[in-house]
Amino acid sequence: MQGLRRYLRLLAPYRTRYAFGLLLLLATNVLSLLVPWLIKGAVDALAAAGASGQASGDGALRASATPRPFAEPEHYALALVVTAVVLMLTRTASRVVVLGGARHLARDLKNRLYERLLAADPPFYARFNTGELMSRCVSDVRIAQAVAAPGILYTFNALFMFGIAVPYLLTLSPGLTGVLFLPYPFLAALTMWAATRVKGYARQAQEAMDELTGHLSETLSGMEVVKAFTLEEAQAERFARSNDTFLEKSMREAVARGGIGIAATLTGGVGACLLLWVGGGRVVRGELSYGEFALFFTVLAMVLRPVIYLGWVLSLFQRGLASVERLDELLEAPLAIRSPSEPRARGPVRGEVETRDLVYRYPALRGQQRRPALAGVTLHVPPGGTLGLTGRIGSGKSTLLRAVPRFIDAPPGSVLVDGVPVEEWELDALRAGMGYVPQDGAVFSLTLAENVAFGRPEASRAEVLEALRVAALDKDLDQLEDGLETVVGERGVTLSGGQRQRLAIARAVLVAPRILLLDDALSMVDAETAVAVLGNLRAALPEATVIIAAHRTATLLGCDELLVLDAGRVVERGAPVALLDDASSRFHAMHERQRLQAEILEEA
């Protein structure tokens, strides 16, 4: 019942549309049952005309005792044509309205899911991988839409048909009606038994699809690595195993669903045989007219089709309930990082950054406790100041930068912007005052100009060109076929690593942030260009607070203060030049090692 309530909540915004569509469907069913009634009248009229003047004898056919609205068969034919036309209109209208509601539901559901993905925090993405999210947002939404369209349409069609046809047939012949529907209780019991299994099988199949989609996503994103290590065959075998698992789970679900359909078809066949046996005997004995017998058979055919569909619909509902549960896991997943109900600060950001004994540990992965990524980090950067961060890989530089715009949820009061803890800021206002450039420099499948103006779509061409100049990417425009209008491809596939990084820096420059966070954002750029870019940044954003994380020591020499991190702790602190002059410092050792490596490379 919980799953059904979830689904009804999804349908609630469209209840007016569905009510109108179901009203049209009810009219369609009434008109559908009017057709066999008219056929019965026409058959009885023909039988009466053929039997006029003849005396009733042993085995003679009885004319129907019910009154006929028309005296001539031709009148029945005209009534059938009119009924068929109106029936076609109401049936088409009911489907358009109901199917349109399902499409609106799917559209709104996709929008809600996308908004949820945009609002999600790192723990959310640690729980759900990319393939699983793609599968749920596509496959599960499609199944939910199917339940909202043919599922609801066929369900109510069957209910309306039974609700109208059975009482009508009972008024004609209660005994024959009972014989006709004698097998249906067995069908209902079998269907309910099988439907409960379909839901479990459907969830297993959908989870197998998650794994399959995830494997495909990982392979596509890491295709160069796969080819570099000649792992094509191994990856193909892994994909085949996942595909076999999906096939196995899907076949279980298909067998369960197929069993319901077979049972429904057999039930209809048994009902038809019983009608021929019992009803045919009554016709021969003169207890039933030709028209009444034709009416029963026509109604049986009309009832049988929704019954067969009902078996499919019940299994579809079970799949739909499993999908809605999986979608609810995304939509209802708790978010740790959100704006407070009554924020202390709403901006604008001035640029002061401070951490107080900052400790952060990433969520445990598969039950394995992780060591702290940051352990007691304290720092202060005044507005307009420049702070450098360096240290070995995994020392906590990226984690520290991510804590400032609250991409991760640090302990309360340990990260402050303008003297206010970041968890007490209005989240959009906090991030609107910052520019964040990660090492990978995300690039979208847009033109170069659109990528640069991603944060400020209204920016002029001159502003875009100036941002590119600051990032030292303007000189590369001549290498691009269409200059600013060059479509850079998915993930910037047409650009080099250094160009992607500089594009990301230009994007940040264009929004004129008060706090600029560079997470090893020049690692793929040569030292000379990196120093030039940093100089351009200071000139273009003189009032901005800049925090730079980098391995290359030469890029950090212009900072006001430098922190050297190791295992999440600050092991050295001071002015870069002072640390460089201290022969015993780690920074001095790092700088000398990099200088020697550069000399060796030049000599080679």
In terms of CATH, what superfamily is 2-51+63-331?
ABC transporter type 1, transmembrane domain (1.20.1560.10)
Is pLDDT larger for residue 322 or for residue 548? 548
Whether this model's pTM surpasses 0.75:
no
Q: How far apart are CA 99 and CA 22, in angstroms?
A: 11
Q: What is the pLDDT of residues 276-322, one digit of tens each?
A: 888 788 877 877 777 777 777 777 777 777 776 776 777 788 788 88
Neighbours of 364 (CB within 10 A): 10
Residue 55 binned pLDDT confidence (cut-offs 50, 70, 90): very low
> Dihedral of the CA atoms 494, 499, 503, 505 (nearest 10)?
160
Residue 604 binned pLDDT confidence (cut-offs 50, 70, 90): low
Q: What are phi and psi of 409, to 5 degrees?
A: -100, 95
> Are the C-beta atoms of residues 166 and 99 closer than 8 Å to each other?
no
Q: How far apart are CA 80 and CA 75, in angstroms?
A: 9
Is pLDDT larger for residue 188 or for residue 597? 597
Q: How far apart are CA 103 and CA 130, in angstroms?
A: 25
Look at strands 569-574 and 561-566 and give their pairing.
antiparallel
- Amino acid identity, position 290: Y
pLDDT score of 233 more than 90: no
Q: Which helix (H) or strand (E) holds 357?
A: strand 353-360
Query: Quick one: pLDDT at residue 57?
Result: 43
Q: What architecture (CATH level 2) is domain 353-362+370-433+513-603?
A: 3-Layer(aba) Sandwich (3.40)
Look at strands 353-360 and 374-381 and give their pairing.
antiparallel
Q: How far apart are CA 495 and CA 479, in angstroms?
A: 10
Residue 393 binned pLDDT confidence (cut-offs 50, 70, 90): confident
- Say which range, 142-151, 240-249, 364-373, 406-415, has the weakest mean pLDDT: 364-373
Residue 437 binned pLDDT confidence (cut-offs 50, 70, 90): very high
Q: How far apart are CA 564 and CA 395, in angstroms?
A: 9
Query: In the chain, how many H helices and how many E strands?
Result: 21, 10
User: Which of 86, 275, 283 minimizes the C-alpha distance to 177?
Assistant: 275
Q: How far apart are CA 286 and CA 56, in angstroms?
A: 10
Please give the distance of CA 320 from its chain centroid, rounded to a whole number: 15
Q: Exposed, middle or buried, 373 (CB in 10 Å: 0-12/13-18/19+)? A: buried
> Are the C-beta atoms of residues 360 and 399 closer than 8 Å to each other?
yes
Q: How far apart are CA 520 and CA 547, in angstroms?
A: 10
Q: How far apart are CA 104 and CA 100, in angstroms?
A: 6
Residue 540 binned pLDDT confidence (cut-offs 50, 70, 90): very high
Q: Any idea where the domains of the chain sit in the sequence?
A: 2-51+63-331, 353-362+370-433+513-603
Distances in whole angstroms, Cα of residue 492 to Cα of each of 437, 444, 502, 569:
15, 6, 12, 35
Q: How far apart are CA 296 and CA 61, in angstroms?
A: 17
Query: Span 326-346, mean pLDDT?
Result: 86
Running DSSP on this structure, what letter comes out for residue 458?
A: T
**What tokens were used for 346?**
């709403």
User: Which of 161, 441, 429, 198 minimizes the C-alpha distance to 307?
Assistant: 161
Please report how the helices 152-172 and 15-51 are oriented relative to each other, as an axis angle in degrees rounded to 10.
30
> Are the C-beta atoms of residues 396 and 377 closer than 8 Å to each other?
yes
Q: What is the pLDDT of residues 253-275, one digit of tens each?
A: 777 777 776 777 777 778 778 77
Residue 58 binned pLDDT confidence (cut-offs 50, 70, 90): very low
Query: Span 456-479, mean pLDDT?
Result: 90
pLDDT score of 443 more than 60: yes
User: Which of 67, 274, 57 minimizes the C-alpha distance to 282?
Assistant: 274
